[in-house]
Amino acid sequence: MGLGSIVGTGVFVSLSIAAGVAGPAVVVAVALAAFVALFNGLSSAQLAASHPVSGGTYEYGYRYLHPRLGFAAGWMFLCAKSASAATAALGFSGYWLNALGVDEALHVPVAAGIVGVLTVIVLAGLKLSKTANAVMVALTLGALGYFVVAGLPAALRNGGTNFAGLFAFNEPAGLLHATALLFVAYTGYGRIATLGEEVREPEKTIPRAIVTALTVTMLLYVAVATVAVAAAGAGAFTATVQAQVAPLESIARGFGALGAAHVLAVGAMTAMLGVLLNLILGLSRVLLAMGRRRDMPGCFAKLNAAGTTPPWAVLAVGALILGLVFIGNVKTTWSFSAFTVLVYYALTNLAVLRLPPEQRRFPRAFAWAGLAACVFLAFWVEHEIWLAGLGLLAAGLVWQQAALWMHR
């Protein structure tokens, strides 16, 4: 379940964005982002084990910090994951159109259409089963594994030239910017943390699952990034981002291996459909929790007749993702997701620092490291992005105060 939630848009889309920022050093950024994710994952595990309830840091913030910080966490989560979902939809569209050789002018309409279809599916009450998740994970890992194997000859042939600047960190801003972007590629570990009531010995099982999933993901991402950059060069990534096409598929076409591009495209589309479906489900449940507290309109807390789906929350989430899809640029949507999700996890680590001693499972130093890394990295994205994020956070807090007055 952890791999199904983590491996998706990050490796198929954001890896190319980060490579355009950091060049060959994107391989180092992948590893740095994994260590930051590990600190945050262990913080999420501690909170989930001590307070197993839907809503994530939105609920933890209310319980351990302050209502305003709890609301800020929920608000930032909605913003972050809606932007991630829009990136997944745009990424799916890019891979699908590239595989079919269809005009890229349909990039945004196809992405909008898939958001609409999956919103209707979630509205009907269909969820991604564990079996379907396992199939998707197998297809995705198989496709990425084939990409690495197929690209090895070209990587060995061209690596000396394309990796010339791997450790040339004369401009650390690029490396830190790429690390911030790639951190989001690991954040599906939150799904593991929410399974505390469904596994045996959650105190042992959940941390172990988070560490294992992040380790496997890091090794996979490093392998893919290394082969892609060595074989084609970081410049090839930059060109695909500017053209809004499928980055890894475009690189795989140059390998000359039988079916490499098509296998990669199938794995990418499957992964991003799964990510998008999971995000619509998860976001609607956070909006449901916010509706129950009256931080959002009460209609979002209403369930359907079967008591299984919050229809207004699902529709609102679908509309929000759809609006972000019309930005039409994966770099913008992913960068916005990076800033807002880093703020969200900074609040997660802050909540862990307020846990009673008997509920702590790891040293406080882990939470301090996660908090410092999130705050530091958040402001290495483009200044237009973090200024917009701060403005949106301020608007959310104004909304919360207005909602409180109206409720009273």
pTM assigned to the model? 0.86
Between CA 266 and CA 271 the distance in angstroms is 9
Question: Angle between the 364-378 and 330-352 helix axes, to the nearest 10 degrees?
Answer: 150
The CATH code of domain 2-407 reads 1.20.1740.10
pLDDT at 291 (0 to 100): 87
Strands, E assignment, 178-277: none
CA 157 and chain centroid, separation: 33
Q: Phi-psi category of 309—alpha, beta or left, where left has phi over 0 and alpha has psi -120 to 50?
A: beta
pLDDT at 242 (0 to 100): 52
Instruction: Give residues with Cβ within 8 angstroms of 140, minimum separation 6.
Output: 7, 8, 267, 268, 270, 271
pLDDT at 379 (0 to 100): 92
Q: Give the Cβ contact number of residue 297 at 10 Å.
A: 16
Query: Where along the chain do its domains lie?
Result: 2-407
| Buried-state track 114-147, b at ≥16 Cβ within 10 A, e below 16 | bbbebbebbbeeeebeeeebeebbebbbebbebb
pLDDT at 89 (0 to 100): 92
HSE-up of residue 44 (Cα within 13 Å, Cβ side) = 28
Between CA 47 and CA 350 the distance in angstroms is 11
Q: First-to-last CA distance in the chain?
A: 42
pLDDT at 324 (0 to 100): 93
The phi and psi torsions of 259 (rounded to 5 degrees) equal: 65, 15
Structure tokens at 369: 């490291």
- Across the 408 residues of the chain, what is the mean pLDDT of every consecutive 10-residue run? 81 85 86 91 82 75 90 90 91 87 84 93 75 83 92 85 62 87 86 68 80 89 89 73 68 83 88 86 85 86 83 93 90 90 94 89 91 94 91 90 77
pLDDT at 198 (0 to 100): 65
Structure tokens at 88: 């997944």
